[in-house]
Structure 1
Amino acid sequence: MITAEQHEKLRGWFAGRMPEGLFEGPVDITVDREEITVVGPVAEPELAKDVSDAERAAAIEGRVQEFRERTREQRIEVAREAEHRFRKKVSWGVRCGDEEALFTHVSAPVMTRLRQPERQVLDTLVAGGVARSRSDALVWCVRLVERNADDWLGELRQSLEEVRRVRAQGPDA
């Protein structure tokens, strides 16, 4: 995890470096050890009020694809500079209405050791057709925890930030 100050500097750099008008508003930036993910808002396509859900979804998909192709060179230029400066890969995505789409992202391997009861959970998900492999099953489990533990994880992140703040005020600061 990075400190709040590092995250602010990163957000500031992207805010200043982002080409004018690339996105419809401020971008959201998420950072971990391997990757910086930049997600910005794009305008929803103009549609009649009575269009079907399928037509709306197709229009949004088209808008996302149009944005991706039209802005590719600009995004590559910014990403190269950021990757050199911050030593992390840069991934891009957009938010169009209620939909979010990531164009590129790092899929980082994570090694873990599991005991038999934990492996049995993964094997059950594979046998039940929920996942194709233990790896997919583990991703499924992490996503389930992520979706259901937002409040708890948010509190944990706040606590970690408070610990960093207190450490920064210590005698070694």
Structure 2
Amino acid sequence: MITAQDTDELRGWITGRLPDGLYASPVEVTVDREEICVVGAIPEPAGLGKDVTGAERDAALDGRIAEFRERTRKERMAVARAAERRYRRKVSWGAECGGRREVFTNVSAPVMTRLRQPQRQVLDTLIEAGVARSRSDALGWCVRLVETHADDWLRELRDSLAHVRHVRAQGPDRDGEPADAEGGA
């Protein structure tokens, strides 16, 4: 399990290791068991006036993100190699520009699950409807659907988990070992 202290230390290390000026503001660092994802804001292209069309603005933002990705690849990969050695996780990168967010690479980690027949039938229906090519693809589609429509609920759940971790860290069993059931340590 990744503790809040582990995550804080990792975020601090990544922030300290990034070259100054790589991103326009502090980066967002998200961590799980397989991956560290680093996303930061980059400046919008100069010359985007209020009179540009939506298509022109979208193309300019896409172009700026692509330019940033190419120009900073060497620096980002140096940080990624060091972080992967230190934390034994892959590093993914992304950028935000003008409200557009693009993550360049992501780890696609297999997840094993057991489903009962009604849940398998949901996946099979998605396959039959052409929404997905396989049960694995259908399950990923379902997770993305929940992620899209449950942002507030998931955010509240994550905040609650962070609070539980904080409260646990303040308790008497800071070494992670619970006290003996008979009252001894």
Please say which of residues 130-139 and 59-68 is displaced more in the overlay: 130-139
Q: Which amino acid aligns with 1:35?
A: E
| Other-structure match for 2:54 | 53
Any runs of at least 4 consecutive aligned residues in structure 1 with deviations exceeding 6 A, and if so which?
Answer: none
- Pair 1:109 & 2:115 matched: no
Gaps of 5+ in 2: 175-185
Separation (CA, whole Å) in 2 of partners of 1:16 and 1:159: 28
Q: Which has the larger radius of gyration?
A: 2
User: How many residues in Structure 1 have an aligned counterpart in Structure 2?
Assistant: 173
Secondary structure of 1:9's partner? helix
Separation (CA, whole Å) in 2 of partners of 1:2 and 1:145: 23
Gaps of 5+ in 1: none
| Other-structure match for 2:10 | 10
| Other-structure match for 1:134 | 135
- Displacement, 1:108? 0.4
- Displacement, 1:112? 1.1
- Displacement, 1:164? 2.4
Separation (CA, whole Å) in 2 of partners of 1:11 and 1:134: 35
Secondary structure of 1:71's partner? helix
User: Identity of aligned pairs, percent?
Assistant: 68
| Other-structure match for 1:152 | 153
| Other-structure match for 1:68 | 69
| Other-structure match for 2:98 | 97
| Other-structure match for 2:25 | 25
**Residue 48 to residue 157, structure 1, CA distance change in 2 (3 Å):** closer
- Displacement, 1:167? 2.9
- Displacement, 1:131? 2.0
- Displacement, 1:19? 0.3
Cα shift readout 1:123-167 (whole Å, capped 9, x = no counterpart): 111222222222221111101111222222223223323332333
Please say which of residues 43-52 and 56-65 is displaced more in the overlay: 43-52
Instruction: Give the alignment's TM-score, normalised by structure 1.
Output: 0.92
Secondary structure of 1:95's partner? strand
- Displacement, 1:41? 0.7
| Other-structure match for 1:87 | 88
Separation (CA, whole Å) in 2 of partners of 1:48 and 1:152: 37
Q: Is the 8 A contact 1:42 1:96 kept in 2?
A: yes
Cα shift readout 1:75-98 (whole Å, capped 9, x = no counterpart): 010011111111111100000111
- Displacement, 1:72? 0.5
- Quote the RMSD (CA, aligned, Å): 1.5
